[in-house]
Chain A
Amino acid sequence: MEKKFGIKDIAYIGMAVALIETCKMALAFLPNIELTSFWLVMFTLLMGWKAFFIVPIFIAIEASLYGPHVWVIMYLYVWPILVLLTHLFRKNTNVLFWALLSGFFGLFFGALCTPAQVIFFTKPDTFDTAVKAGFAWWVAGIPYDVAHAVGNFTLMLVLYTPIRIAVNKLRTFSH
């Protein structure tokens, strides 16, 4: 992959955001079953570190559609964690490995979001209360985290092989 940021990367980012948004809306009726993680992993495998740029653009579109809230701050650090993990393990080609990575990410999504929730709702000298409220907030979301984990695991298990073939083809085409 080229080190420089090129026109092709801009096109890839556009495609990625379009795909993520479309899939997100199509699956919006199922709680926490999403392809956002899947596409971020796949585009990271395709683009390398440049995939980090997908995240802020995706968030900008989401915020303009649904209105900004605390989740904007959460997304700003949670999704880059996934991109970073994917980039670190990019050499791995085992389906089960990626399904597990995706699943674990889903499982800890709520936990990863909790710090932002705590910090955002802390007033001076009420940090303890905010931590307790944050814990309660996380616990209340556990069923959704589990759904997220199972959904991510299954989707990655099913979709990894065909899309990885496409990714590999695209990579060889471009060089």
Chain B
Amino acid sequence: MEKKTRNLLIGLGVFAVLIAVLLIIFNLNKPQAQPAPAAETETAETEESVNTDEQSEEAETADEQTAEEQNAEDTASDEATDDAEGSKNIVIEVKDSEGNVTTYDVTTDAEFLRQAMDEAEGLTYEGTDSEYGMMVEVVNGEQAIYAEDNAYWAFYVNGEYGNYGIDSQPVTDGDTYSIVYEAAN
């Protein structure tokens, strides 16, 4: 009887230790910030979409509404969104399969990268919407679908590999966002 109780107490200890270990694993691997949930639900459709002007306008207005709900910091800038000019100056770079770099200087109020890409003149992109936001497949007419082309469009923020999709990547003043054609090994 005593031995049984001791075993159970050991089990209890193991239980507590495992919880601690899992929490440590989580802390080592967790994303640096919480992605905005509203941006994900917004594009939670599985249909193909192209960034026509109409759609991007819709996305902008939807973003404005949700942005007000989520982010008190940004309310000041959201009030002035009717103008094309914004409060954040960012650079978007596109590096194609040949290594040619095209740079777009964008002044925007966009909260997420997708809107800033919509505002960048001359930059076009297409992709598939998923529950995690848009999966970008074609940039400036060049297609990189992993299953078909064995390549993908990678996203970098100030040279660091991006943690988010374009629908949840926050836009920060002064940042450089690179969209790079990368071949899989």
Contacts and interface: CB of A to CB of B under 8 A. Distances in A.
A96 interface: yes
Interface in A109-165: 123-126, 129, 136, 139-140, 142-143, 145-146, 149-150, 153
A94 B25 contact: no
B130 to A, nearest CB: 11
B12 A100 contact: yes
Given A124-B147, A126-B147, 6 more contacts: A107-B22, A125-B147, A139-B30, A142-B25, A145-B22, A146-B19
Nearest to A139: B29
Contacts of A153: 15
A77 interface: no
Q: How large is the interface on A (under 10, 10 to 19, 20 to 34, 35 or more residues)?
A: 20 to 34
A49 interface: no
Interface of A: 94, 96-97, 100, 103-104, 107, 123-126, 129, 136, 139-140, 142-143, 145-146, 149-150, 153
B18 interface: yes
A15 to B, nearest CB: 31
Interface in B1-58: 4, 8, 11-12, 15, 18-19, 22-23, 25-26, 29-31
B19 A97 contact: no
Contacts of A107: 15, 18-19, 22
B41 to A, nearest CB: 16
A149 B19 contact: yes
B146 interface: yes
Given A123-B147, A126-B147, A139-B29, A100 B8 contact: yes
B22 A146 contact: yes
A126 B25 CA distance: 25
A-B residue pairs, 3 tightest by C-beta: A142-B26, A139-B29, A96-B8
A28 B30 CA distance: 25
Contact of B15 (A94, A104, A143): A104
Contacts of B26: 139, 142-143
B8 A136 contact: no
